[in-house]
Chains A and B, each alone.
Chain A
């Protein structure tokens, strides 16, 4: 296979004026959708999906993909300046991005995020291009036992990353897991906690849960707190964006690490940019020699996850395009766009539609370059979007949230779900319970359970099956190590606090 001929073909396709226009349109829309909190990428792509019927399949896919990764760029802007994640995968960016903005370093955070996004995406594209066939081949051999172990590790790591108590984090993961059991049991079809309500048969809506927990509760909390002057227009000037030498020194390793984590989780079916961002944050926090800076404006906590989620955005196309398995509802829509045009996704896609596959891959480069331009020199425009007076912003965002929640499955019930989780989110805020582990538990809950039960069926009921598989056993051991480590770290911190008190 001549990779250069393929890349040249792709570049030729992606640079045709028609495709270029739709690439720009995609990333531009994506950035707007990302910046404005409340409208998710899924809602946006579903709304624009019908337009793609009238486009060439390549252009359609280029545009939808542009919206997809463009949102991740834009999403961090609201996270940093408002502490409201513009998109779910940039929720982690709030943790350290917002404190940076509060310290007047919002501009630095914005610039570094964009650079990290670009770096992560570039590495993701390289992985997509070179390892696509290999990773796809391996992915189908990963069995339920391995998925279960990996996800368990993800959950435990996420629960213990919170700066507050690890117990609270774990409690929220468990709450998330419990909420995820609502609906039809995947293995027996039994209805759990549905109270005979058909709307609950498919479980609580992830979109509604996330929007309520993060969006509504943030708005309720901010109504009294945030004043129009809160977004510092100066954060978007060149001077405010100049990172210190220390920032750069701290950033480049997390960038590469994040890109690696993101590339891995993006390619795995069932996981995605949000989990990648969480994992990257957990890893940076753990690896840091100064973990106490996290949550208070540590640049590593911004760069790592942003690099990870953008890398994952790109590698998410590996299972989608090479196996025809969408890792997320958004990817399913992309596949839908292909099938509408009579293109069957699957391992033969790359050989049968080289123009489409390589054109799409090359459009990622172009799209990311466009995003770099949109997000660095034009950042002022997006910041201004956030400076619209709050009395006008709040109702608009709330309306978008409701439309977003409603439009996923045209269900008014989901709008009430948003309301319910908005109240829960506010209550959790009051008691300083972290919402992110809850979300992760909720997202991974059904997967963890399904994979565990499938593995148990395959083992015909023998739990030792997990320990007999070397990879699974290693990951499970690692999970235990993380738990032990956080208990030990907690005890040590407590001992240090005590001796500190004695010194005084």
Chain B
């Protein structure tokens, strides 16, 4: 097949530039860097349904699990920044680069687009812990060091636990499990003591009374979980982080395109299905601008890099 030179030229030119006005020019893929069935997957699938309605194209969710979300993120970094390849990730987006050597630059090769929601980091305890609150736990942990479960090396639960150990000045050992479900189950069996993670991955088990919630990390109590003690009120300073879910695009996206997607995702987030999902998991919908989200992303990444250095967490 031969194309007239002008057509070919036009094709080449238009392929290079993605305009906000003609977005989306075809089906959109949302990469989920985790296995199907997890909380990130659930949120993304709900979002895909709502976005497909707004954009009038198919929005496909593609699971690319592995390496603490970095396999999917690498795929994203290599995609064209035309807005047709997006990714939804947790705070792992900022923790994993702190210990892994990656084939892309986590600061420039991804574009933070939209903060989808934030939740407190909740500290839960298993059958091996006698305390019912964080203040009691601090005493118990001082008397006998506890085991802190994580959802994997470099996961946000790993860094949240390390941050707590450092700021609270508590002794403890880290044990890595293969995911949030695994960590919770091992707490139930008494094979580990404490797990610090976002609300979505601990609340179901707290509701079933399989693990107990001791408190939240942060300067003050969480508005949605007012019964739980905050680390700040116990005199533990320097913990001011939240768990979050956010949408990313490949690096170098046109700011107009980012603004366009930000607006459409904001609309999609108002759907009943999405709101119910947030409410069920004690997540507050994100309202910050793409710039604010990008700043938060970079700031946290620096925090975790510093922490990794201070605590001697390194992969290589």
Contacts and interface: CB of A to CB of B under 8 A. Distances in A.
A380 interface: no
Given A191-B316, A201-B71, A333-B36, A325 B181 contact: yes
A6 interface: no
B185 A184 contact: no
Contact of A323 (B42, B64, B175, B185): B185
Contacts of A348: 208
Given A332-B35, A335-B37, A201 B66 contact: yes
Size range of the chain B interface in the assembly = 35 or more
Interface string B155-188: 0000000000000000001011010011001101
A144 B154 CA distance: 21
A325 B153 contact: no
Contacts of B316: 190-191
B189 interface: yes
Contacts of B239: none
Interface in A445-460: 450, 454, 457-458, 460
Interface residues of A, number: 41
B36 A347 contact: no
A185 B68 CA distance: 12
A272 B108 CA distance: 43
Nearest to B61: A50
A202 B66 contact: yes
B178 to A, nearest CB: 7
Contact of A410 (B62, B175, B190): B62
Contacts of B176: 186-187, 454
A458 B175 CA distance: 8
B305 interface: no
A346 B204 contact: yes
Contacts of B315: 184-185, 188-191
B189 A346 contact: no
B210 A187 contact: no
Contacts of A339: 37, 41-42
A141 interface: yes
B100 interface: yes
A332 B181 CA distance: 11
Most interface-central of A140, A141, A323, A458 (chain B CB within 10 A): A140
Contact of B36 (A184, A186, A332, A458): A332
A480 interface: no
B189 A189 contact: no
Contacts of B70: 198, 201
Nearest to B158: A189
Nearest to A147: B191
B35 A454 contact: no
A184 B153 contact: yes
A460 B147 CA distance: 10
8 contacts: A190-B315, A202-B66, A323-B185, A339-B41, A410-B62, A450-B178, A454-B175, A454-B176
